[in-house]
Structure 1
Amino acid sequence: MIRRYSFAKLLPGLLPVAGTLILAGCQNDSVPGLQSGADYFPLEVGRYRIYAVADTLWANYQRTPSSYQFRETITDQINDATGQPGYRIVRARRVLPTDAWRDDSVMFVAATDHALLLTRNNRRTVELVFPVRKDRVWNMNAFNSLDTVAAENRYYQNVGETFQSQFGGKTYSYNQTLTTALTEDNRNGQNNAVYRSTYDQVYAQGVGPVYRARRRYIYCADQDVGTSICGRSNTRIYRGQARVEVLIEQGKL
């Protein structure tokens, strides 16, 4: 079954945070083979991806939308602070397609035999685990302090499926994709009548990330919890952020 996501109908948001990266080491310097699933995030110097971004911030029930573009470019292959090899990714931002790109932040990606690790804003996360297998779970925050070491908060929701996204009247289709999402237990633990948090990423084989959506909503102020005005409703978000990114261009410099 083809899963379709209309960019225009999705809630935008989650303002980006620019940061300077402190590189962290990975545990294994070998590069996994394509059969493991590493080709869902190709690492090659000069490769770039451009995303259309829909962004919304809520404050005191007021909604402020914005839109812009991100470009992520693999600029060079380098060693991190521990001497382990990886790739530097520079993210740039512009509001209009006619604007000049302005560097926004830097990331570092390393692929081991078992996982793909991303360091951004001084925090390292486990983005993918190898080999790829539907319903496989892992701890995205195994290398940072956000969760306990034993937590299982991320899983492969779909593997090997066709995916379509839309932007500006154009449809972008991919034959082989996988989707990572919060585990059901993690969703249940974080989502209730007052709070909602979701984070989904779609990767296309031979391309990389093609769709990303992160939403964090608080539906009412602390003093209103338990009253009739406090309840889950996308039209009544007290405070929150949401951001949706759709890949619209890729290539090699």
Structure 2
Amino acid sequence: MSYSWSSCILIVICLALLSGCESVTTEPTPSDDAYFPLETGHYSIYNVQEDQYPRQAAPIQRNYQIKEVVGAAYTNVTGQTAYRLIRYRRATDSQPWQADSVWSARLVTNEAIRTENGQDFVSLLFPVSNGLTWNGNRYNTGEQNDYELRNAGQPFRVLEKLFNETVTVVAQDDSTLVSQEKRMAVYAREVGLIYKERTHYQFCTSSPGCIGKNQIDYGSRQVYRIQTYGKE
């Protein structure tokens, strides 16, 4: 069977048109606000370790647990949708939870905002990318505090659990011969906050022999490590 040249061209055009009509399926791009999930009933339980170093006294260590539950949505005074963060505390696994405090959180355009003790902090900025910076104190009366996002999409291990996709937010990381100041938080996709550290150390400077030895004169360190999470 033979085909004319014009028939061949027509067949090629028809095949191209048929191929163009095939549906193309693409996977939806995950939203970065999943690093800061706000869903009523979502909860996280943290093991908290506090180390206190009083001046000229023995160090004091405290260990306890904090449970944070996302409450129902409500409209705040600015007309924005927010969620209550209901916080509980206990000393050990075997003790009942005791009410501790109520904070709140909200997502506004590209910002994740937490209200802690009446102060608003911009915890995350979206979309996440390494080197992204913003003023965490934008909505409070504190001095400008530039947060920096690092390790976007990288794994991070807390206790025995590995979280495959996380972001790290560094609010402060300063270390000198006389002091150390560190504030950082790690968020996992679909989980939220999984690790938080706040360190304030003043090192010994009273004699030449202790300078530069990181010998703590006074200060404190607090670390949150997620133990479990889920939905009630």
Which bin holds the TM-score, normalised by the shorter protein?
A: 0.7 to 0.9
Report runs of 4+ in structure 1 exceeding 6 Å deviation: none
1:250 is matched with 229
Note if contact 1:52-1:246 (Cα within 8 Å) is conserved in structure 2: yes
Partner SS state of residue 51, structure 2: strand
State the Cα RMSD in Å.
Answer: 1.9
Question: If the length of structure 1 is used for normalisation, what is the TM-score?
Answer: 0.75
In the TM superposition, what whole-angstrom CA distance separates every residue of 1:107-140 from its partner, at most 9, and x where no partner exists? Answer: 1101011210111111111100011111111111
Q: Which amino acid aligns with 1:157?
A: R
Partner SS state of residue 216, structure 2: coil
1:138 is matched with 134
Match of 1:238 among 189, 213, 217: 217
- Larger strand fraction of residues: 2
Which runs of no fewer than 5 residues in structure 2 stay unpaired?
1-27
Q: State how far apart, in whole Å, the 2-side matches of 1:96 and 1:201 are.
A: 24
| 1:86-97 pair list within 5 angstroms | 86-97=82-93
Q: Which amino acid aligns with 2:106?
A: A
Match of 2:170 among 177, 181, 197: 181
Structure with the larger RCO, 1 or 2 (CA within 8 Å, 6+ apart): 1
Q: State how far apart, in whole Å, the 1-side matches of 2:212 and 2:84 are.
A: 40
Partner SS state of residue 198, structure 1: strand
Asked if residue 202 in structure 1 is aligned to residue 186 in structure 2, the reply is yes
Note if contact 2:129-2:150 (Cα within 8 Å) is conserved in structure 1: no
Q: State how far apart, in whole Å, the 1-side matches of 2:29 and 2:80 are.
A: 20
Q: How many pairs does the alignment contain?
A: 204
Q: For the structure 1 residues 65 and 133, does the alpha-carbon distance in structure 2 shift closer, same or farther, using more than 3 Å as the test?
A: same
Q: State how far apart, in whole Å, the 1-side matches of 2:213 and 2:113 are.
A: 35
Query: What's the CA shift for 1:229?
Result: 5.2
Asked if residue 65 in structure 1 is aligned to residue 58 in structure 2, the reply is no
Note if contact 2:201-2:218 (Cα within 8 Å) is conserved in structure 1: yes
Q: State how far apart, in whole Å, the 2-side matches of 1:229 and 1:211 are.
A: 35
Match of 1:165 among 153, 158, 172: 158
Which runs of no fewer than 5 residues in structure 1 stay unpaired?
1-32
Q: Which amino acid aligns with 2:228?
A: E
Partner SS state of residue 238, structure 1: strand
